[in-house]
Structure 1
Amino acid sequence: MRLYDTALRRIEPLELRRPGELALYVCGPTVYAEPHVGHGRFSLAWDVLRRYARWSGLAVRYVSNVTDIDDKIIARANEEGGDAAEVAARWEAVWWRTMDRLGVERPDETPHATAYVERMVDLIAGLIAGGHAYVGGDGVYFAATSVPDYGLLAPGPLDQLQVGARVEVGEEAGKRSPLDFALWKLAKPGEPTWESPWGPGRPGWHTECVVMSLDLLGEGFDLHGGGIDLAFPHHENERAQAEAAGRAFARRWVHSGHVVAEGGEKMSKSLGNTLSLPALLDAHDPRAYRLLALQSHYRRSMTVSPATLEAAGRAVDGLDGFGREFAAARDAEPDAGVRARFAERMDDDLDTPGAVAVLFEAMKQARAGGDGAVAAAVIDAWEKGLGLPLAREAQVPAAAAAKAAERDAARASKDWARADALRAELVADGYVVEDTPEGTRLRPAR
């Protein structure tokens, strides 16, 4: 597999630390609000990479963190007159419920920032001792220029870039340089705090992932991923801390692209043009959003609009027709040629548009010749390689249909606990549970 490395600015082979094993770290959510469609696209990109790596025969360990202490969480708690921990827990539950609906597999590990504060304090102390960090007026800061190659992940010359949105320049009076960033923020009234040698406070955002990724994946792990908006300064600041601490960090840096609205405008909360991911999943088959993501290369902008979603939905209906037509072919030996052509496209920087084109062409081939081996390869690639399940010929038993109807009633009355419990029962009974505008849809799991 070859992927575009943001640090090297070219496509390079994925050279694994241990043969046959992929150690993957992806920056996860900051849980203070519901996820939007950009979060969905980002999550699908890594879900597809993970599934394809596994389809290719690799063992994958996928770690993605949860930021459960942050300025935005605290601001939300203050607005509501509540507790930051409660806000984080509530919105984290919404995040996972939405990812389940989207068909995104949960990470193998989901470390939470608040569980690693003591180890972050140890890292910061070591950086100060090594001359890479200093105590300022309102916290501890990393001296960016103390790392000779600082800016490796930046999109251009440092003197032409603005410091990232999460660096509150106006509040950080103790900084020596605009590029320096907070490692430890001294306590303010009403904020959650932890003890440290520099006074009560909390860690800066850029320190969290350094500690968690190294703890769970070890030094020199294979790949660090995230949205392209995180490459600089967030991922660069992670990398700089690890280098300053003398720790081998990620071997490859890979980033996914933005979601844009019709007309090409980037979607972002700051512009006020984001779309709710739960609302999108209420209105469309979750597989349609996955297919839309697959038809866009992961590094490029993806347009989300009613027209693109409707087109993807129609294509999914066609895939379901193929799945029913060739249901009996699922147990056949998959055609090696189709598998090879699919893998060739996916291995080339995760070229999902090219891989999807291979599968659609193979579907025509299967239908033209009634070829079960070709159909088996197509279905296997869609379902296991890309995570897009196809319909089967199967009647849903009355008991399962009754549970689905009860779940719809629970959702209508906003009894989310009961709806989630019924979903869990149906999954345990062997069904894939999908939320559609018409209600709960059940398909037998593979």
Structure 2
Amino acid sequence: MHAWPASEVPALPGQGRDLRIHDTATGGPVTLDPGPVARIYVCGITPYDATHIGHAATYNAFDLVQRVWLDTKRQVHYVQNVTDVDDPLLERADRDGVDWAALAEQETALFREDMTALRMLPPRHYIGAVEAIPGIVPLVERLRDLGAAYELEGDIYFSVESDPHFGQVSNLDAAAMRLLSAERGGDPERPGKKNPVDPMLWMAAREGEPSWDGGSLGRGRPGWHIECVAIALDHLGMGFDVQGGGSDLVFPHHEMGASHAQVLTGEFPMAKAYVHAGMVALHGEKMSKSKGNLVFVSALRRDGVDPAAIRLALLAHHYRADWEWTDQVLRDAEARLGRWRAAVSRPDGPPAEALVEEIREALADDLDAPAALAAVDRWVGLQEASGGTDTGAPGVVSRAVDALLGVAL
């Protein structure tokens, strides 16, 4: 599966700072010091309703991670999946009377278009669950051989008790895990499971649903968590720098994925930092496909909204914060974009070298994009109030905003 084209990232003088970021597993900040190649895995969409603002906010956060690392002169090995077969996708296809594979392809194509418009840097590897199945089957077989998986009426489950580190990503108690498992695709009430929150690794073929040859597992399709594990281990290996996604993936998805990988490899941890973006609400409720309260990037674009304004609207909120999308949020972003573009179109301005360092400092401090935006606002305000004599400054600002914030002025 191919990703989307990369926008050029302007080179800046000097060098960025190492990223200090909040780690969900420890509940506090960690300073990441990757080698020459920084490794990041971000969980992708289930392509049946793309791309809403909640998606965009999440991928914007991890785009900033990439930009901070690139500014430190590192290479970035970024991997993202597409869950192109799963219950929600099949249910939506059945509801709409369309082929599930065609729906997945259509929504993935739309997602690529939106990511391109928003100047999100693409992953090096963009892998669908279906194409990953040949690599998933041996992992499930190995977990079974290790005694970490068991069969229940033809389905194969992972035993969470097989990982001594289980629970160390989310740090939730058993009751909270059971509740979230039920809400987020698990089946804690199914009789016969060793532990109510044990996740499915391989679902035996169901009538009328797609299935694949699973070798000794029989025909079926993979569970959600093992999909990401297979892709991450194949392309990044264990101990990669950042596992990313929305905060709704902390449990069960990232918790289960970590346990799968740790049992498979005997190594700990799967990732050096588990980083999660906040949720975006609309009309007082979390924006979600199940509730249908979605604002789509493609719809905003069709209405003539500049993608750079959408991006500025996202950047105005700290990536870990929960926030609400409103018309005013977009109006404020459009006004800011207009002021910034007017500023960099003038022939001169105040010196900008200190501004570049302010942006770097803000982003290195747990991706504090609102602080970075405030720094640019101050430079623009100075230029509006008293002009300036540095003819190179507008160009420096334009390149810095593009390289570090992904906004083309």
The structure-2 alpha-carbon separation of the partners of 1:98 and 1:339, relative to structure 1 and needing over 3 Å to count, comes to closer
1:137 and 2:153 correspond: yes
Q: Which moved more, 1:156-165 or 1:180-189?
A: 156-165
Partner of residue 11 from structure 1, selected from 12, 19, 29: 29
Q: Secondary structure at the match of 1:346?
A: helix
What is the alpha-carbon distance in structure 2 between the residues aligned to residue 388 and residue 185 of structure 1?
43
What is the alpha-carbon distance in structure 1 between the residues aligned to residue 165 and residue 108 of structure 2?
36
What is the alpha-carbon distance in structure 1 between the residues aligned to residue 75 and residue 83 of structure 2?
26
What is the alpha-carbon distance in structure 1 between the residues aligned to residue 169 and residue 408 of structure 2?
36
Q: Contact 1:366/1:372 (CA < 8 Å) preserved in 2?
A: no
State how 1:54-203 maps to structure 2 within 5 Å. 54-154=70-170, 156-161=172-177, 162-164=179-181, 165-169=183-187, 172-196=190-214, 197-203=216-222
Equivalence for 2:366: 349
The structure-2 alpha-carbon separation of the partners of 1:160 and 1:28, relative to structure 1 and needing over 3 Å to count, comes to closer
Q: Contact 1:382/1:388 (CA < 8 Å) preserved in 2?
A: yes
The structure-2 alpha-carbon separation of the partners of 1:308 and 1:163, relative to structure 1 and needing over 3 Å to count, comes to closer
Which structure carries more relative contact order (alpha carbon 8 Å, separation 6+)?
2
Equivalence for 2:316: 295
Equivalence for 2:330: 309
What is the alpha-carbon distance in structure 2 between the residues aligned to residue 282 and residue 87 of structure 1?
20
What is the alpha-carbon distance in structure 2 between the residues aligned to residue 69 and residue 235 of structure 1?
19
Q: Which moved more, 1:272-281 or 1:226-235?
A: 272-281
Residue 173 (structure 1) shift = 4.2
Partner of residue 28 from structure 1, selected from 44, 52, 75: 44
Q: Contact 2:64/2:405 (CA < 8 Å) preserved in 1?
A: yes
State how 1:378-393 maps to structure 2 within 5 Å. 378-390=397-409
What is the alpha-carbon distance in structure 2 between the residues aligned to residue 270 and residue 32 of structure 1?
11
1:276 and 2:296 correspond: yes
Deviation string for 1:75-106 (max 9, x for gaps)? 23333444332221122112112222222232
The structure-2 alpha-carbon separation of the partners of 1:174 and 1:33, relative to structure 1 and needing over 3 Å to count, comes to farther
The structure-2 alpha-carbon separation of the partners of 1:170 and 1:232, relative to structure 1 and needing over 3 Å to count, comes to closer
Partner of residue 233 from structure 1, selected from 248, 252, 264: 252
Q: Contact 2:184/2:252 (CA < 8 Å) preserved in 1?
A: no
What is the alpha-carbon distance in structure 1 between the residues aligned to residue 310 and residue 404 of structure 2?
16
Deviation string for 1:148-189 (max 9, x for gaps)? 221222263222331333434278444222110100000001
Provide TM-score, normalisation by structure 2. 0.88
What is the alpha-carbon distance in structure 2 between the residues aligned to residue 152 and residue 385 of structure 1?
32
Q: Which moved more, 1:229-238 or 1:361-370?
A: 361-370
1:254 and 2:275 correspond: yes
Computing the radius of gyration from Cα coordinates, the structure with the larger value is 1
1:211 and 2:223 correspond: no
What is the alpha-carbon distance in structure 1 between the residues aligned to residue 190 and residue 154 of structure 2?
7
Q: Secondary structure at the match of 1:372?
A: coil
Q: Contact 1:139/1:184 (CA < 8 Å) preserved in 2?
A: yes
Q: How many residues align?
A: 383
Q: Contact 1:22/1:222 (CA < 8 Å) preserved in 2?
A: yes
Q: CA RMSD in A?
A: 2.1
1:267 and 2:290 correspond: no
Deviation string for 1:10-32 (max 9, x for gaps)? 0110121x2x3211110011112
Q: Contact 2:49/2:289 (CA < 8 Å) preserved in 1?
A: no
Equivalence for 1:221: 240
Percent identity between the aligned chains? Answer: 35
The structure-2 alpha-carbon separation of the partners of 1:366 and 1:53, relative to structure 1 and needing over 3 Å to count, comes to farther
Residue 340 (structure 1) shift = 2.0
What is the alpha-carbon distance in structure 2 between the residues aligned to residue 90 and residue 335 of structure 1?
44
Give the aligned residue type for 1:93: A
Give the aligned residue type for 1:182: M
Structure 1: which 5+ runs fail to align? 391-446
Residue 199 (structure 1) shift = 1.8
What is the alpha-carbon distance in structure 1 between the residues aligned to residue 191 and residue 217 of structure 2?
16
